[in-house]
A and B are shown apart, each in its own frame.
Chain A
Amino acid sequence: MFQHDRLNNEITLFQKIKNLDYILLISVILLSVLSVFVMYSTDGGEILFHTKNHFVKLAVFFPLMIFVAFFNIKFWHNFSYIIYFIVILLLIYVSFFGLKSSGSKRWMDLYLFVLQPSELMKVAIIMCLAKYFHRIKIENVNSFTSITIVLSIIIIPIIFVISQPDLGTSILIALSGLIILWLGGMKIKYFIYSFITFLISLPFIISFLKPYQKLRILTFLDPDRDPLGAGYQIIQSKIAIGSGGLNGKGFLKGTQSYLDFLPEKHTDFIFTLFSEEFGFIGSVGLLILYSIIIFRILRIGAISRSNFARLFCFGYAFAIFIYIVVNLSMVLGLLPIVGSPLPIMSYGGSSMLATMIGFGIVLSAKINHKQMIA
């Protein structure tokens, strides 16, 4: 075993490159290229601000992903708690000194680009919990102490993110954390109990929501109650997607987006534009591409020797899945509007940074899948 360890530790750069998961890599590249074209379309068929910035971010973060991948998975395991704490500190910093924009305080100015720490938390929480469940004995998983610890790990960042306020991201962080709890072997009855408690306390929770959040829920239930106000986004989004048809209106020919009927078309509603221009076929194609990525991540998790890598991969695959589902359900009118980007496709540096780091760790798990972690 010792020998084996040593062997793994001494993987050469050439072997590392060779051991990368090329299907995942190609899928991510395809997605990236696609996202640049879609961004080009949101700029009205010109290389403007969004296209340029999106491309630059890809050009920086894609190599960063490879860089992350070349660190041993053991390294990421070792630094998981520290990374989690650093991100918590960033969240605290933001809650005091963050940049304010349209009523919320989520960003910090890093001179070169503006960072949203809550996005990083989406990955950090998976790392942190994966390490915790990797280290804890299966028998102790359901002990009072461990439940208290893992719930604290989830709740502390959520408090900060909710107070920004940013409901969408906090829900995604919560779901990413809960999935690790589930995978780690927490009793099913706990999930059932808390789900029932959640349902019962739902009216109570709703009364705590901010007026605009309540409005979003009402609008979701009946978008036509205020078609030019609160319901405008979802109605226009459905019109754009529905009018795309089987083949779509064609690249750069999406009238809904071109004529500015689509709100937030660069970020949360990017899929709407894509679907309008590329139709049902394009949309299903995009879903298949995402599915391949998720499947590859799951596969890497399945071949990983360490439970840390396994938990991280499974958790991260689920997180990506949740991001996609929440975003698509929102633009398709299946869920109320909560701010949540579509991985890689949406404009936004922090989201892309977090996603790429996540992919990097997954690739590191692939390169070092035989690595055991004590």
Chain B
Amino acid sequence: MIKSNSGIRKTDVINRRMFIIGAAKVVVFVGIVARLFSLQINENKKYLTLSDKNRIREWKLPPTRGNIVDYFGNVIAGNLKVYQLHIIPEQVENFNYLLVRLKNLLNLSDKRIARINKLKAELKPWDSIIVSENLSWSQFVKINNYLYDLVGVKPVMTISRNYPFNDVYTHVLGYVSQPNEQEILENETIQERFVPGMKIGKLGLEKRLENHLIGTNAIQRYEVNAYGKRINQLEHQKGEQGSKIRLTVDTEIQKACGELLNEKAGSISVMDIYTGDIIAMYSSPSYNPNLFLFGISQDEWQLIRNNPLKPLINKTLSGLYSPGSTIKPIVALSALENKVIDTKFKVKCTGKMELYGQTFHCWKEKGHGWVSLKNAMKQSCDTYFYEVARLLGVDRLNITAEKFGLGKKVLGDYFDNEKKGLFPNTKWKKNNLGKGWVLGETLITGIGQGYIQSTPLQLCMMTAQIANGGFAVKPKIIVDSNPISYEDAKQSMESGLLFDTNSEELLDKKLFKNQKNIKIVQEAMFASTNERFGTSYKSRIDDPKYQFAGKTGTAQVKRISKRERELDLELEQIPYKDRDHALYVAYGPYVNPRYALSIIVEHGGSGSKAAAPIAKKLFKLIIDRHDLRNKQSNFERITV
């Protein structure tokens, strides 16, 4: 009975204590349900987002660059389908065997093989390795024929930049290539759209217009597993090609410039004197920008780099030259405007001029005799311009020259390699060289030598502004959203005001005090080309349709010693580096002028022999294409 009692008491204890535990269990279960509720119901959104973030990964594809077209819509920087070869390591059965096979099929270098092996070690096994960026069609076919034997190899078709005119536009467009780290960091748009294998503009307009040309990435969304492997594609968002850019240039003329400067170092610029459209801008020699697309080979790079004619320099914008006699129209204009001389003013040229014991030579040893402005310009008499410059003074000359665009950048900030040149005055010398101006320096400035430095494009613009009757033009190379037609530009200019489409303001564009003075200079330039004894008389065209006016220039690159002057060496007898630069500026047609140009042939000798004949050949083409150009004026509007 005692035992039984004890048993009952024990059972009671067990039951009572079980009850306490049971209550605790309910509380704990309720707690767990509450936790579930808070995670799954209250915070569901947050965790759903996190779960999607886990599983969805976006792959950006390289954007397609916008095309660049010339004035007539010809693609000058486009995109081309290229064939590439990728390896997906995880699908490869025998990596070494595959590499040996590919090496034989594609003639891969040992360096390339080493690079592939390095990439294989760095990348995830499902990331593809690019073996070759640009397979030729025959290589592509070969690979496809042997594909059964090349497990894990994937021939891929993709899009790459292409310059169909090869070296014709290199200095205008620049080229694209793989960006370096700094370039990615500097440009937010590139940073945002960067994907490996993408190429960016390295130079020229390709670089300047990067943000317009770049385009947007196509995006592929994939579901990935915890290790980052793609499981399946969810959606594909198409990218937009970059903006199309239309330039003012004419490929036919640009090509002709290249041919005319073949195997010479130099530059040709052609400009519309009313609209400021740059028709051509060629720096010679050029190089093929397509070489840079897939990494230029060391040999090819050395060939370009070590070329003594310096193809890497854009001579039109960064080449600095003494303008030589091509400055004379500005000297004459400045003197006329400041009423220092008139058309009757005459100077006697004896072949040299003495000043404070120093002798200043005219190019013609025997002298020109008594010359007036017209004759002095025609025969490019240096003595006349020494005297005019002496009377005028460098500071007044400087004001006129700067008005006409010398010493300033022509295209503003479009090309970061453009130089602004120099047109000196007394203040400049004091500030920069710390010495007082010497009168002798005024004399040589009057014939475009000395401190004065200008780019070929500046000389072209200077000529354009004389040709259009003395009005400021705003040179441009891109057809903007509101292209002003040739007629409108001419009309508004001749009324003395030019409607600036960008600032929507009527600006005073007059560069003269008295337009008669411009006319006088124009006539003198006409004489220089079209009258007997003119320096470029041999290069004239008599047909009034093509007739042009111009001014030759010969820029010394070193001081001519007395002995050399007496020797009077032929061009071939002088070392290349010591030969004079040949220059020529011109505009045409003489009646109703439309275009101005400047030509520089480095170390070409005299302007009349080396530069002016090029103008003759070019003007025919430029003027023949004028009607075509007019018809094209407004075919497409592009915003930049």
Contact present for B46 and A255 (CB under 8 Å): no
Q: Can you pick out 13 interface pairs between chain A and chain B where the beta carbons lie within 8 Å of each other?
A: A240-B47, A241-B36, A242-B50, A243-B44, A243-B47, A244-B44, A260-B227, A280-B37, A287-B32, A298-B18, A302-B15, A302-B18, A307-B7
Q: Convert A68-89 into 0s and 1s, putting 1 for each residue whose CB lies closer than 8 angstroms to a CB of B.
A: 0000000000000000000000
Binds B, one of A92-100, A147-155, A179-187: A179-187
Instruction: Tell me if A334 is interfacial: C-beta within 8 Å of chain B.
Output: yes
Bound Cα distance A238, B18 (Å): 33
Chain B residues, CB < 8 A from A242: 39-40, 43-44, 46-48, 50-51
A82 to B473, CA, bound (A): 110
Establish whether residues A184 and B227, one from each chain, have CB atoms under 8 Å apart when the complex forms: no
A interface, CB within 8 angstroms of B = 133, 137-139, 179, 182-185, 236, 238-246, 255-256, 259-261, 275, 279-280, 283-284, 287, 291, 294, 298, 301-302, 307, 310-311, 314, 318, 321, 325, 328-329, 332, 334
B6 at the interface (CB under 8 A from A): yes
CB distance from B27 to the nearest CB of A (A): 11
B-side contacts of A256, CB under 8 Å: 51, 54-55
Which listed residue (A182, A243, A302) contacts B48, Cβ 8 A? A243
Given A242-B40, A284-B33, answer yes or no on A307-B10 (Cβ-Cβ < 8 Å): yes
Additional 5 contacts, C-beta under 8 A, given A311-B14, A332-B32: A179-B21, A182-B21, A238-B39, A243-B47, A256-B54
Q: Of all chain A residues, which has the CB nearest B25?
A: A321
Residue of B nearest to A259 (CB): B225
Q: Is the CB of A283 within 8 A of B40?
A: yes
Measured in the bound complex, the distance between the Cα atoms of B33 and A314 in whole Å is: 23
Q: How far is the CB of B594 from chain A (nearest CB, A)?
A: 68
In angstroms, Cα B28 to Cα A239, docked, is 23
- CB atoms of A328 and B32 under 8 A apart: yes
The answer to whether B223 touches A287, judged by C-beta atoms less than 8 angstroms apart, is no
Q: Is B226 in contact with A259, judged by CB distance below 8 angstroms?
A: yes
CA distance A243 to B47 in the complex (A): 5
Bound Cα distance A184, B224 (Å):
55
Output the nearest chain B residue to A239 by Cβ-Cβ distance: B50
Q: In the complex, what's the smallest C-beta–C-beta distance from A53 to chain B, in angstroms? A: 23
Q: Across the two chains, which residue of chain B brings its CB closest to A313?
A: B18
- Indicate whether B231 reaches chain A with its CB closer than 8 angstroms: yes
Give Cα distance in the complex from A310 to B15, angstroms: 9
Q: Is the CB of B10 within 8 A of A291?
A: no
In the complex, are the beta carbons of A310 and B48 less than 8 A apart? no
Q: Which of A182, A261, A318, A334 contacts B54 (CB 8 A)?
A: A261
CB < 8 Å: which of B35, B41, B223 contacts A245? Answer: B41
A334 to B36, CA, bound (A): 11
CB contact list, B22-62 vs A, under 8 A = 22, 25, 28-29, 32-33, 35-37, 39-41, 43-44, 46-48, 50-51, 54-55
B35 touches A334 (CB 8 A): yes
Contact B50 A243, beta carbon cutoff 8 Å: yes
With A139-B6, A183-B17, A255-B55 known as contacts, the answer to whether A241 contacts B40 (CB < 8 A) is: yes
Query: Would you call B577 an interface residue if the criterion is a C-beta within 8 Å of the partner chain's C-beta atoms?
Result: no
Establish whether residues B40 and A244, one from each chain, have CB atoms under 8 Å apart when the complex forms. Answer: yes
A240-B44 contact given A182-B17, A307-B11, CB 8 Å threshold: no
Q: In the docked arrangement, what's the CA distance between A185 and B55, Å?
A: 54
- Are the C-beta atoms of A259 and B15 separated by less than 8 Å? no
Given A182-B17, A185-B17, A332-B39, A245-B44 contact (CB < 8 Å)? yes
Tell me whether B9 is interfacial, beta carbon within 8 Å.
Answer: yes
User: Given the complex of chains A and B, what is the CA–CA distance between A261 and B22 in angstroms?
Assistant: 37
Q: Which residue of B lies closest to A328 (CB)?
A: B32
Q: Which of B14, B18, B40, B51 contacts A280 (CB 8 A)?
A: B40
A183 contacts across to B, CB distance below 8 A: 13-14, 17-18, 21
* Residues on the B chain within 8 Å of A298, using CB: 18, 22
A185 touches B10 (CB 8 A): yes
Tell me, in angstroms, the Cα distance from A242 to B41 when the chains sit together. 8
Q: Is the CB of B231 within 8 A of A314?
A: no
Complex Cα gap A332–B33 (Å): 10
CB-defined contacts of A245 to chain B, threshold 8 Å? 40-41, 44, 48
Neighbouring B residues of A184 by C-beta, 8 Å: 13-14
Chain A residues near B37 (CB-CB < 8 A): 280
Indicate if the CB atoms of A137 and B6 lie closer than 8 Å.
Answer: yes
Cα separation A137 to B3 with both chains bound (whole Å): 8
CB pair A314 B36 closer than 8 Å? no
Among A138, A240, A243, A245, which residue has the most Cβ atoms of chain B within 10 A? A243
Q: Are the C-beta atoms of B9 and A138 separated by less than 8 Å?
A: yes
Residues of A within 8 A of B36 (CB): 241, 275, 280, 283-284, 332
Which residues of A sit under 8 angstroms from B231, Cβ to Cβ?
259
Q: Which of A185, A239, A241 has the most chain B CB atoms closer than 10 A to its own CB?
A: A239
B24 to chain A, nearest CB (A): 9
Q: A239-B51, A298-B22 are in contact. Are A287 and B227 (CB under 8 A)?
A: no
Contact in complex: B14, A185 (CB < 8 Å) = yes
| Cross-chain contact B47 with A239 (CB below 8 angstroms) | yes
Q: Nearest residue in A to B14 (C-beta to C-beta)?
A: A183
Q: How far is the CA of A259 from the CA of B15 in the complex (A)?
A: 49
Residues of A close to B17: CB separation below 8 A: 182-183, 185
CB distance from A172 to the nearest CB of B (A): 15
**Complex: how many Å from CA A215 to CA B337?**
90
Give B46 Cβ to nearest chain A Cβ, in Å: 7
Nearest 8 A/B pairs, CB to CB? A242-B47, A243-B51, A260-B226, A259-B225, A280-B40, A185-B13, A243-B47, A242-B39
